Amino acid sequence: MSDLRIVAVEKAFAGVRVLQGITLDIASGEFFTLLGPSGCGKTTLMRIAAGFLTQDAGEVHLGGERIDFKPAHTRDIGMVFQDYAVFPHLSVADNIAFGLRTRKVGKAEIDRRVAEIVDMVRLGGLTERLPSELSGGQQQRVGLARAMVIRPKLLLMDEPLSNLDAKLRLELRDDIRALQRKLGVTTIYVTHDQEEALAVSDRICVMNGGIAEQVGTPTEIYRRPARRFAAGFVGSMTFLTTGATGGALTLGGQTLRTSAADGAITCGIRPEHVRILAVGAAIPAGAITLDGRIARVTFLGPHVSCVASTDLGPIACLLSDADPGLIPAEGAGARIVLPVAHLHCFDASGTRCEVTP
Amino acid sequence: MTLLRRPLDPWALVLMASWALLAALLFWPLSAIFSASLVDNDTGQLSLVHYREILETRAFRRAVVNTFIAGFGGMAGSVIIGVTLAVITARYRIAGKQTIQTLAILALVSPPFIGAYAWIVLFGANGVVRNGLASIGVTMPAIYGVWGVILVFSMKFFPHVYLLTSAALNAVNPSVEEAAESLGMPPWQRLLKVTLPLILPAITASALLTFVLSIADFGTPRLIGRDFNVLATEAFTLFGSELGGNPGMASALSTLLIVISLALVALQRRAVSRNVYGGNLVKRPEPRPVSGLKSLALHGLAYLIVFIGTIPALTAVIFSFRKTHGPVFHPGFGLQSYEKVFAQVSAPIINTLMFSFIAVVLIVIVGTMIGYLLARRPGPASAALDGTLMIPYIVPGVVMGIAFITRFNTPPLVLTGGALIIILAVFIRRLPYAARSVATSLRQVGPRIEEAAISLGCPPLQAFFRTIVPLIMPGILAGALMSLVTAMNELSSSLVLYVGGTATMPVRIYLAVLDGEYGVASALASILLALTAAAVLLAFRLAGRKDAALL
């Protein structure tokens, strides 16, 4: 069932089209992420849903009701901010109770609900403190509790983790996900961090330049990126350029069949799918094989990252759990194998096209 | 449908109300001056006769030239003294830096005309110091005239330059200076090419302020200038006598004064807009230790500057306790002056407190709302509001007074002769300061705080009062107290607008000085000084930092 519906929303600032007609259907209880680089319009879209901006065109519906003309304070939408935005002059408990007091909830009920949420966000024992006495992670927990306790129809999170250091980020990320599942609130999460998006989301909308490039589950987007932008933005990918003529394209001297019309083609491959064989090893079937040289080797602990230089350009490769004896030496020759099943090819418009051996 | 789709922002109403207020209390009165300046007094015809008269009459031409002399003289003196003191205290380890700062602030907040009066007492024709020196054979010229005016302006306004410049110097990242030297730049060259450009915006901004204050000052040239007439004094004199007055001419001179001020502000804004640098301050500048003769010289210079700056206040206090008989001082000390003040002229004290208090309450309420608009509702309408607010800030008090009396003397709105007109004049003149300082403190409170409250169900105005106001309250109160200080010390507009029953302390002090009643003047001035000092100290307490309350 669709809960939040965004229909053909457009917005321009000083003539720049920040949102160029976005349409999204978000299901009840779904954890939905807007992912994209800064300036892609993700925050603008979220602020339109919140009521802090008014769209130039389009509609926003929540739970079957059109809300885009309602003032922000009447929309029943919880918000979590990048800079926490906890009220510095109020204690943790008063911060969390703020929305309940605004709603004239009875005192006993406020106390009960505050205590309950404080437990959930693990702020027990800190309720009488002022925000200045809390760490950044704790302040964001207050922000989260404050937004959740009003049982909003929709929860909006604007890069809630980006001001935290790496360790806290992981910890709070898991807590946010667990809490959202538990309370089942429909959530829009805005981030530019693709790993974060993959980790928490039910579905992701990859945005770029004011348009939705691809909407899908994390696995769909990572494994079958529909657009060249999504392929490059989520995870890393090496892109090689070629061209299609008459339903065929040539890559490293080998010909593949393609569904694409004639024109420029970009083929991408993720580093973990690239295989490195010794010079002169047997050429495997269903793969592009290139002869090249190992230009750089970086040891990362669990992985070894290599860059191989080939006639088609440098190709990144990630070797997992590598046998020490098999770590290639810098400068050594190698046979680089790109399995066709793992190639992601895009036509000149950036749309995915299929290739087969 | 359009009405439905766009919820009316209550702040849009505040914006409209602000413009309406400015229209009523700024444009409408000023338009009275402007139109009066274009009407021939005798014929009632539209004419440029008054402006032609400025060009043709020697006295007026001289007033124009003198205005520039006073402005640039006061500015040059203030900048030299202020920058010197700022560099000494910010860059060298000077003992008693707090004392220096406090004394400078004391000089800043002491009523302006006290300065003129105190210098007369000390160095006037019959000045104490001058007579003393004469008795040991040292003769010096009396302080009257152009040099006296410039001296008083310099010693009065240098604290503005000092405070702004030392704040800027303290914000220069020392790593930048070290980087310049490590790149092979000798220290003197580094000072010119790196440090100076970084603090130049502060210096030019404060220099402009001292210029505007100098040309707007009316008490000092009036008391100390003798035949050194400036536009402000000419306008006041021409307007002064109801019957023999020349409102058209007074208005033309006032218009000219406004134009000069506005032109300079525009010039300074253009010069500085390209030169404001953001920096990241990782390291605070560390004052350098000094020793020996150099230390002695630097200490001597710093303390001499602030001592001279506080001479007027000290003089007023000391003279207020001197024994008097009638208007004449006698050797020894006594409380006659205070007795006389409380017996005969207590009304001005009550007036001052009452008028200032009401004005400040209005200033705080309206200033906070406008400050919010400036900081949080960027757009053409609020940007224009910000620019327009510069006008009451730089229109000299005398001019504002004349504008009010011209406009509010006849229906539809008759206010002359009452307390309200004095209060409103102070209100509109000091409103910009309050609005700007609220805007500054608001910019330090992230806008998300308010959005958080709104998203939790608070209507926008309520969100502002429940989350933003408590956060900026110390700033608002400190600003209010500083407004109270300026309101209590307001002379020029009140002098134009007062009638017998609505005289304030500054007006009464001014009249007492003119009448030669120095005892009463000193006592009143000391009381005013004490009230001012109390308000300033309280403001510092609230703001936590001294300069934060002033800048």
pLDDT of B443-481, one tens digit each?
A: 777 788 888 898 888 888 888 888 888 888 877 887 788
End-to-end CA distance of chain A: 41
- Chain A residues touching B380 at Cβ < 8 A: none
Would the CB atoms of B457 and A87 count as touching at under 8 Å? no
Decide if pLDDT at B176 tops 80. Answer: no
How many CB atoms neighbour CB B519 within 10 A? 26
Q: Are residues A347 and A310 located together in one domain of the fold?
A: yes
- The CA-CA-CA angle for residues A261, A266, A267, to 5°, reads 110
Element (H, E) at A298: strand A287-299
Q: Identify the closest residue of chain B to A50 by CA–CA distance.
A: B455
Decide if pLDDT at A28 tops 90. Answer: yes
Who has greater pLDDT, A32 or B245? A32
Which of B8, B456, B471 has the most A C-beta neighbours within 10 Å, making it the best mutation to test the interface with A?
B456
Would the CB atoms of B455 and A78 count as touching at under 8 Å? yes
Confidence band (pLDDT; 50, 70, 90) for A343?
very high
What are the tens digits of pLDDT across the range A140-185?
999 999 999 989 999 999 999 988 888 889 999 999 999 999 999 9
Confidence band (pLDDT; 50, 70, 90) for A190?
very high
Mean pLDDT confidence for A305-317: 92
Q: Are residues A14 and A163 located together in one domain of the fold?
A: yes
Residue bearing tokens 């400050």: B371
Proportion of chain B above pLDDT 90, given as a percent: 7
For residue A87, give the CATH number of its domain.
Answer: 3.40.50.300
Decide if pLDDT at B418 tops 80. Answer: no
Check: CB of residue A232 under 8 Å from CB of residue A205.
Answer: no
Task: Look at residue A160 in the predicted model and tell me its pLDDT.
Answer: 92
- Which domains does chain B carry? 8-29+339-551 (1.10.3720.10), 48-171+199-310 (1.10.3720.10)
Mean pLDDT confidence for B307-335: 81
What are the tens digits of pLDDT across the range B261-300?
888 888 777 766 555 555 445 556 677 777 788 888 889 9
Q: Are residues A19 and A88 located together in one domain of the fold?
A: yes
Check: CB of residue B82 under 8 Å from CB of residue B285.
Answer: no
Confidence band (pLDDT; 50, 70, 90) for B352?
confident
A84-93, A96-105, A285-294, B127-136, range with the lowest pLDDT: B127-136
Mean pLDDT confidence for B393-410: 83
Contact status of A48 with chain B (Cβ, < 8 Å) = no
Q: Of A279-293, B6-20, B370-384, B464-478, which one has max mean pLDDT?
A: A279-293
Proportion of chain A above pLDDT 70, given as a percent: 98
Question: What is the complex's ipTM, to 2 decimals?
Answer: 0.77
Q: Identify the closest residue of chain B to A90 by CA–CA distance.
A: B467
Task: Look at residue B232 in the predicted model and tell me its pLDDT.
Answer: 85
Q: Are residues A223 and A274 located together in one domain of the fold?
A: no
Mean pLDDT confidence for A36-62: 92
Q: Of A20-34, A121-135, B170-184, B278-292, which one has max mean pLDDT?
A: A20-34
Decide if pLDDT at B226 tops 90. Answer: no
- Chain A residues touching B449 at Cβ < 8 A: 85, 87-88
Mean pLDDT confidence for B130-150: 81
What are the tens digits of pLDDT across the range B64-83?
888 999 999 999 999 999 99
Mean pLDDT confidence for B25-29: 88
Task: Look at residue B141 in the predicted model and tell me its pLDDT.
Answer: 75
Proportion of chain A above pLDDT 90, given as a percent: 59
User: Both tokens of residue B100?
Assistant: 């220096």
Contact status of A89 with chain B (Cβ, < 8 Å) = yes
Task: Look at residue B2 in the predicted model and tell me its pLDDT.
Answer: 39
Decide if pLDDT at B108 tops 90. Answer: no
CA distance B204 to B210: 10
Decide if pLDDT at B400 tops 60. Answer: yes
Task: Look at residue B293 in the predicted model and tell me its pLDDT.
Answer: 84
Task: Look at residue B285 in the predicted model and tell me its pLDDT.
Answer: 67
Q: Are residues A200 and A289 located together in one domain of the fold?
A: no
* Portion 95-134 of A in contact with B at CB < 8 A: 98-99, 102-103
Considering chain A, what is the average pLDDT of its residues?
90
Would the CB atoms of B471 and A71 count as touching at under 8 Å? no
A352-353 and A344-346 beta bridge pairing: antiparallel
Who has greater pLDDT, B439 or A144? A144
Mean pLDDT confidence for B36-62: 78
The pTM assigned to this predicted structure is: 0.73
For residue A253, give the CATH number of its domain.
Answer: 2.40.50.140
Would the CB atoms of B452 and A86 count as touching at under 8 Å? yes
Decide if pLDDT at B3 tops 50. Answer: no
Given B446, B448, B453, which is nearest A98 (Cβ)? B453
Mean pLDDT confidence for A124-150: 90
Would the CB atoms of B456 and A83 count as touching at under 8 Å? no
Task: Look at residue A57 in the predicted model and tell me its pLDDT.
Answer: 93
Helix and strand tally (H, E) in chain A? 8, 22
Task: Look at residue B490 in the predicted model and tell me its pLDDT.
Answer: 81
Confidence band (pLDDT; 50, 70, 90) for B245?
low
Last residue of a domain, one of A231, A250, A284: A231
Q: Are residues A224 and A244 located together in one domain of the fold?
A: no
CA distance A328 to A331: 9
Would the CB atoms of B451 and A85 count as touching at under 8 Å? yes
Who has greater pLDDT, B184 or B497? B497
Distance (Å) from the alpha carbon of B451 to chain A's nearest alpha carbon: 8
Q: Are residues A122 and A10 located together in one domain of the fold?
A: yes
Last residue of a domain, one of A166, A197, A231: A231
Q: CA nearest A273: which of A209, A194, A338, A189?
A: A338
Decide if pLDDT at B144 tops 60. Answer: yes
Range(s) of the domain holding residue A323: 238-356
Q: Are residues A200 and A244 located together in one domain of the fold?
A: no
Decide if pLDDT at B11 tops 70. Answer: yes
Q: Are residues A62 and A88 located together in one domain of the fold?
A: yes
A319-328, B216-225, B505-514, range with the lowest pLDDT: A319-328
DSSP conformation letters of A43-76: HHHHHHHHTSS--SEEEEEETTEE-TTS-GGGS-
Q: Are residues A84 and A127 located together in one domain of the fold?
A: yes
Task: Look at residue B546 in the predicted model and tell me its pLDDT.
Answer: 46
Check: CB of residue B232 under 8 Å from CB of residue B257.
Answer: yes
Q: CA nearest B124: which of B103, B108, B99, B145?
A: B145
Q: CA nearest A68: which of A77, A59, A81?
A: A59
Task: Look at residue B1 in the predicted model and tell me its pLDDT.
Answer: 36
Mean pLDDT confidence for A69-80: 88
**What is the count of structural domains for chain A?**
2
Last residue of a domain, one of A207, A231, A255: A231
Check: CB of residue B37 under 8 Å from CB of residue B236.
Answer: no
A16-27 and A2-13 beta bridge pairing: antiparallel
Given B4, B452, B460, which is nearest A79 (Cβ)? B452
Q: Are residues A184 and A124 located together in one domain of the fold?
A: yes
Q: Are residues A268 and A295 located together in one domain of the fold?
A: yes
